[in-house]
């Protein structure tokens, strides 16, 4: 039985694990190893390629950043201007057979006059109630937060049904501590002014401008980052699969029989799976209140020029029940390399309305593609046998596809752990589980390791890994996982230099 001794072991080669490994390599102050059961790094930020040559990410990912350190690492991995495309977000909400600019609650000016008036009345009522509410009176859940911020009508027609479609859990079962920059709280004065003038609100949020890699989809970023690491300190695939974590002896048993002895462990596997791999019944009990939804990603490749109704749209939201998906990303708009070139000849598999094509002979493009996301949970089950057909019908009913459009490629993949739900019980569970692990020398970090969706973007996740290393080596502060509101706030302009950068300079 082979044994490896390291100061820091990193489990998982998604953005968090790669951030940790990058930091360990940069500081050169501790021996380390990173392991992952997947042969290709990227985790939940990876990209699949269909046999026909269409690329699809594991859900809707774009690159925008709260950290200079993250920017520097990404730019080192993909340094050429030609490595990237930069986009201005063009995003809409499908509502009553029309398109409302995103975010919906800031753009009620485009609704019909009667609906606009009802929304404004409730917004004003909510604003007046907020003026006399005691500061200690906090919303009990996300549904109450929505009512207080956007009023009853907007909550009824958009916030409540849309968020159920995304999270696959009622908003009454979600807390309100995660919201931060994730949900736009409207400026009532500006909203009223825009409604009177019939004016659309400007861009909102940190992803109003975003970058996307020219080649390889989002997964291409993390493959490139992994290539900057010392390959002797990486174990991916079968030889990197964790079989058991022995926290008492500080050993990790890998599936190939190798035992890794560590001083500190940074785990990016989901905390519930970590508890199982540890065989720790106490931790398993702590994790029971944690709730998650699964994500079904459906991709459709279409022959033909991108239609004018699609234009330069990036991603689109769907609140109504005439389609199963809550978001559609026009993935071909992100990069011309996300689909085959026009010279590639592909057969038509079916028409968008489910009919058989007139001919099955391969013929050339051009091609474009759309990527759909469908959430799933015990509260919101999914019919897997008919999911693709239901999504195609939804694309037609929402007018993203015409009935006779030629479908040349399809892709369906389910991810069991899709969204870490900020449930009402979450914060109390994490307040017990994360320190419990830290007392054992384990930092559980990342999208499902720390279970904090509000710091679960790629930049956040990467920096969780970086800051975990600083903490493990020198007791450094973990700003991201412990202070989500600060790192997400617009007042956070320091784009901080880290302790070890200062030491090295």
pLDDT at residue number 487? 87
131: helix, coil or strand? helix
Q: How far apart, in whole angstroms, are the C-alpha atoms of residue 180 and residue 197?
A: 29
108-167 pLDDT, tens per residue?
A: 889 999 999 999 999 999 988 988 989 889 899 999 999 998 999 999 999 999 999 999
322-377 pLDDT, tens per residue?
A: 999 999 999 999 999 999 999 999 999 999 999 999 998 999 999 999 999 999 99
pLDDT at residue number 490? 54
407: helix, coil or strand? strand
Q: Do residues 326 and 203 make contact, with C-beta atoms less than 8 angstroms apart?
A: no
Closest by CA position to 90, among listed 108, 99, 102, 106? 102
Indicate the pTM of the whole model: 0.92
Q: How far apart, in whole angstroms, are the C-alpha atoms of residue 13 and residue 33?
A: 11
Q: How many CA atoms does the CB half-sphere of 420 hold within 13 Å?
A: 25
pLDDT at residue number 170? 97
pLDDT at residue number 489? 75
The angle formed by the CA atoms of residues 469, 61 and 326, to the nearest 5 degrees, is 130
Closest by CA position to 371, among listed 345, 403, 409, 405? 409
Residue with tokens 């986009």: 87
> Which CATH class name applies to 292-420?
alpha beta
> Going by DSSP bridges, is the β-strand pair 47-49/367-376 parallel, antiparallel, or unpaired?
unpaired
Q: Put residue 71 in one of left, alpha, beta given phi > 0 → left and psi -120 to 50 → alpha.
A: alpha
pLDDT at residue number 199? 77
Phi, psi of 267 (to 5 degrees): -105, 130
Domain locations along the chain? 3-46+68-80+216-291+422-504, 103-197, 292-420
Q: Do residues 130 and 150 make contact, with C-beta atoms less than 8 angstroms apart?
A: no
Beta strands in 247-288 (DSSP E): 251-254, 259-267
The angle formed by the CA atoms of residues 174, 285 and 295, to the nearest 5 degrees, is 45
Q: Which residues of the chain have pLDDT under 70?
A: 180-185, 202-207, 490-505
The angle formed by the CA atoms of residues 91, 95 and 97, to the nearest 5 degrees, is 110
Q: Transcribe 74-106 into DSSP letters.
A: HHHHS-SGGGEEEEE--EEEEETTEEEESSGGG
Does the domain spanning 3-46+68-80+216-291+422-504 belong to CATH 3.90.320.10? no
């Amino acid at each position: 039985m082979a044994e490896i001794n390291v100061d820091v072991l990193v489990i998982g080669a998604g953005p968090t694990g790669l951030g940790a490994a990058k930091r360990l390599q940069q500081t050169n102050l501790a021996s380390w190893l990173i392991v992952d059961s997947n042969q290709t790094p990227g985790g939940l930020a990876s990209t699949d390629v269909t046999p026909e040559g269409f690329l699809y990410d594991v859900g809707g990912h774009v690159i925008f950043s709260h950290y200079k350190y993250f920017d520097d690492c990404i730019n080192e991995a993909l340094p050429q201007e030609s490595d990237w495309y930069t986009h201005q977000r063009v995003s809409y909400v499908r509502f009553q057979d029309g398109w409302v600019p995103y975010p919906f609650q800031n753009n009620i000016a485009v609704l019909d006059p009667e609906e606009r008036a009802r929304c404004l009345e409730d917004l004003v009522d909510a604003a007046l109630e907020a003026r006399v509410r005691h500061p200690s009176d906090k919303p009990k859940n996300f549904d109450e937060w929505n009512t207080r911020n956007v009023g009853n009508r907007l909550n009824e027609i958009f916030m409540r049904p849309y968020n159920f479609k995304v999270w696959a859990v009622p908003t009454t079962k979600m807390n309100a501590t995660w919201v931060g920059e994730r949900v736009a709280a409207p400026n009532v004065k500006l909203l009223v002014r825009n409604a009177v003038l019939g004016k659309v609100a400007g861009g909102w949020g940190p992803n109003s401008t975003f970058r996307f890699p020219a080649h390889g989809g989002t997964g291409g970023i993390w493959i490139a980052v992994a290539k900057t690491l010392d390959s002797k300190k990486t174990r991916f695939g079968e030889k990197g699969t964790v079989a058991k974590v022995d926290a008492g002896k500080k050993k990790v048993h890998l599936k190939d029989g190798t035992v890794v002895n560590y001083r500190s462990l940074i785990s990016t596997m989901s905390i519930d799976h970590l508890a199982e791999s540890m065989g720790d019944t106490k931790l398993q009990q702590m994790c029971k209140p944690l709730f998650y939804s699964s994500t079904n990603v459906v991709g459709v490749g279409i022959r033909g020029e991108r239609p004018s109704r699609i234009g330069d749209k990036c991603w689109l939201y769907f609140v109504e029940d005439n389609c199963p998906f809550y978001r559609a990303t026009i993935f071909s708009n992100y990069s011309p390399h996300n689909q085959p070139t026009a010279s590639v000849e592909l057969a038509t598999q079916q028409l968008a309305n489910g009919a058989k094509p007139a001919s099955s002979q391969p013929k050339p493009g051009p091609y474009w593609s759309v990527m759909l996301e469908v959430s799933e949970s015990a509260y919101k089950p999914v019919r897997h046998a008919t999911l693709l057909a239901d999504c195609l019908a939804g694309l037609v009913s929402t007018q993203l596809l015409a009935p006779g459009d030629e479908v040349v490629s399809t892709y369906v993949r389910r991810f069991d752990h899709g969204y870490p739900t900020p449930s009402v019980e979450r914060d109390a569970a994490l307040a017990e589980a994360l320190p419990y692990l830290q007392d054992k020398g384990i930092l559980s970090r990342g999208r499902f390791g720390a279970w904090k969706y509000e710091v679960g973007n790629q930049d956040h996740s990467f920096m969780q890994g970086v800051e975990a290393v600083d903490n493990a080596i020198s007791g450094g502060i973990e700003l991201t996982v412990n202070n989500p509101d600060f790192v997400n706030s617009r007042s956070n302009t320091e784009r901080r230099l880290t302790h070890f950068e200062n030491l090295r300079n």
